[in-house]
Chains A and B, each alone.
Chain A
């Protein structure tokens, strides 16, 4: 015999208890597939240089030179890297800027990410008016943009993304 639903605790009430939470599947989540952090200007390179020495699961850090027509990446220690190869293994690209000098690079990287369907985020670490230009430069290319005076925002974002 099937009991009428009204005689039993509803499925939502039962499922939402702390006790039921202990039965959740406990398989660890995979880390992010690949996060690439690209500094767009010398000030940003200083910021990402400090971050690169921390322990990350999948994050890789680069500086960027060039213009809207094409860019050259350099990894930690100045090792050259191909943007195309790095994007092949990436699912998030984080662009870091401190002023607007990297607008051309932002365009080139942003366009490459767009073509590959890769999520782009931009963090502009700056105080004062120089940030306005950097934000404007990144706006067309970053699906998420954080203007901030606090460089630990980059750490928070990367940590939250399991980078």
Chain B
């Protein structure tokens, strides 16, 4: 249960809101690199943290993320021409470079300095891995670039997709640290999904539907450990890291690639789910990469040319009641990603958390909300830099291990949940 004022604080991420300011302390995914595939390619509308922006790549390969609307009369620069080192408004020809600086106003005299005083709001846009990252905070406090392992391994070892989710970022994110839903909602996928099936750990998941949980602080956020019975005298632990504000990783299964998410607010009623898969020590096989493109694992099959899932709320997520009856899909919805999004979107654009009935098994969610709230208030009142900004906090992995019953998951897995480049993940 969450009071309305706290729910508002956590779910509203527009400019000048406490949580919006918190998000503006981090480098966050703005779009996929594939959306700006070449110099002078078509620009892309980008809405982030309730700000309407435009991303483009100029003739020199420089990336820009600027106010979507021309400084002159407010026309959208989505209609502009991307040419000769800048983007030229289709209405009256005003031209802007990747920093948002106006570089030409055709109606002014050739020797006019008028345009020097015209500048659109702009944010940095940097390619790391398959993602273009932006930082929307005070330029004076720009943090070092992100160091997430999935974005730093060689290109052949990683794959990232994204999908539009029609609900507030927080209810999407909370699914990422809610380990207890896997046994029910995703039970079909553990047996059949090509990116999950076959792992020994899946048997432990399916055989023990009442996991125990431990929630422990980390420098960047939390580790949530879910413990199930394994062989005599041992437990199977699935360890999920959360790094503030919205990065989570799913514990691995066998030698399958390891995966995770970012949930990035578009506005207060929509978010992007960025989903990545990577293998730290080998290239993804063609079959694995194709499975990801086809929407298996944590990815979704999207409507071609868009990032909207084929199965969405407008077609009832292609609900298959027969598959639900047969047990092929517990909810009747196909695919891990859409199984999650369908239920999270069903809560409404922003769920009213004052009506929740939480249980102790939701402690990960309870603790994450508390940390977000405290960090947002500490930033607002004292200027405290929140956890997760320091790139050292990005060096985390999920893990899935079998331990002796007497062992502590954090003590035993201290190394396993840290990134050591070129080493395999701890996985069963």
**Which residues from chain A sit less than 8 Å from chain B, CB to CB?**
9-13, 15-18, 20-21, 24, 29, 92, 94, 119-121, 132, 135-136, 139, 142-149, 152-153, 156-157, 159-162
Contacts and interface: CB of A to CB of B under 8 A. Distances in A.
Nearest to B409: A139
A143 B316 contact: no
Contacts of B215: 144-146
Contact of B366 (A92, A135, A160): A160
Interface of B: 1-2, 166-167, 210, 212-217, 269, 313-317, 342, 345-350, 352, 355-363, 366-367, 369-370, 406, 408, 411
B313 A10 contact: yes
Contacts of A121: 360, 363
A103 to B, nearest CB: 13
B213 A143 contact: yes
Chain B CB count within 10 A is highest, among A94, A119, A121, A156, for A156
Contacts of B166: 16
Contact of A15 (B216, B346, B356): B346
Contacts of B350: 18
Chain A CB count within 10 A is highest, among B314, B342, B370, B406, for B370
B367 A146 contact: yes
8 contacts: A15-B346, A16-B166, A16-B346, A16-B349, A139-B212, A139-B214, A142-B212, A146-B367
B269 A18 contact: yes
Given A92-B360, A119-B359, A16 B348 contact: yes
Contact of A148 (B210, B217, B317, B411): B217
Contacts of A15: 346
B1 A10 contact: no
B370 A119 contact: no
Contact of A12 (B212, B313, B370): B313
Contacts of A147: 214, 216-217
A152 B377 CA distance: 15
A147 B358 CA distance: 19
Given A121-B360, A136-B406, A149-B217, A12 B349 contact: no
A157 B360 contact: yes
Nearest to A157: B366
A143 B212 contact: yes
Contact of A144 (B213, B269, B356): B213
A143 B213 CA distance: 6
A142 B358 CA distance: 17
Given A13-B313, A18-B349, A144 B361 contact: yes
